[in-house]
Amino acid sequence: MASIAETRSFFKTFILADISLSRAEEAIALLDDRSKFVAEQIDARDRTAISALIHKVKADVVVNACDPRMNEAIFGAAYDSHCNYIDMAMNLSAPHPTNPYEEVGEPLGKSQLDDDAKWRERNILALVGMGVEPGLSDVFARYAADNLFDTIDEIGVRAHPPDNKFAAAIANRDAFFGPCLPTAKHEPNVHQSGTCGDGKGYG
C-alpha cells in the first residue's frame, strides 16, 4: 500500500501502523520518497489504542488492510473518532446459533452494513469490502461506465457462481473456506436502488 501511496499527491501525511514498529519502519525504508510517511506501533485488536492514534495524528481516513478478524476494533475505533474508514474485506460471517448446517447465521459484513444509519448521523463514510471482490470490480465497472461505453443498462457482479464449486478469496482461511461450507450463504448479495438483498448467480 505504501509503495502505491508514495506516487499519489492527494494526502499530506501517511501513517503506516503495525503491531511491529520495525516492520512498519522497514516498509517505509524501501520507498524512494519517505517524506510523507510515519511509522507507528499499534495493536489492531485494541479499539481504544486505535482511537487514540487516530486523534494523535488527526487522521482523515483509516484504511484497514488487516485480516478481517481485526475489523470490529478498527471499524469501531474509526466510528468512535468520527473518522472515515475503508477496509478490504468485510466482517466475517457467523454460523446459525441453533441450525448451522441448514440455515445461514449472520451473513458476511452484516454488522457493518447495519451501522449505516449511525455513520450517516455522524456524517462520516465507511467503504467496506473494497478488496478485489466486489470493491475493485466496482471500480473497474465505474471506469468502464465513464470511459468505455456510451450507455450501460446493467452491470452485475457476483462473488460466487451458481454451483458454488469455486470461490475466489485470498484474505484468510475463514474467507477462503467459508463459501464452501454447508453454512455458507450461496446466493450473492445484490445492491440495487439503494437496498441490499439476495440475488441469483449466473448460470
Is 179:133 a contact under the CB 8 Å cutoff?
A: no
Q: Within this chain, do residues 115 and 102 fall inside the same structural domain, yes or no?
A: yes
Q: Within this chain, do residues 8 and 47 fall inside the same structural domain, yes or no?
A: no
pLDDT tens for residues 131-185? 766 567 777 888 888 999 999 888 776 655 444 444 444 445 555 555 555 445 4
Q: Within this chain, do residues 76 and 173 fall inside the same structural domain, yes or no?
A: yes
Name the domain count of the chain: 2
pLDDT tens for residues 11-67? 899 999 999 999 999 999 999 999 999 999 999 999 999 999 999 999 999 999 998
Q: Is the peptide bond before 97 cis (omega within 30 degrees of 0)?
A: no
Q: Within this chain, do residues 183 and 90 fall inside the same structural domain, yes or no?
A: yes
Q: Within this chain, do residues 28 and 104 fall inside the same structural domain, yes or no?
A: no
In a domain, 129, yes or no: yes
Q: Within this chain, do residues 56 and 18 fall inside the same structural domain, yes or no?
A: no
Write out the residue range of the structural domain in which residue 32 sits. 1-41
Predicted TM-score of the model (pTM) = 0.70
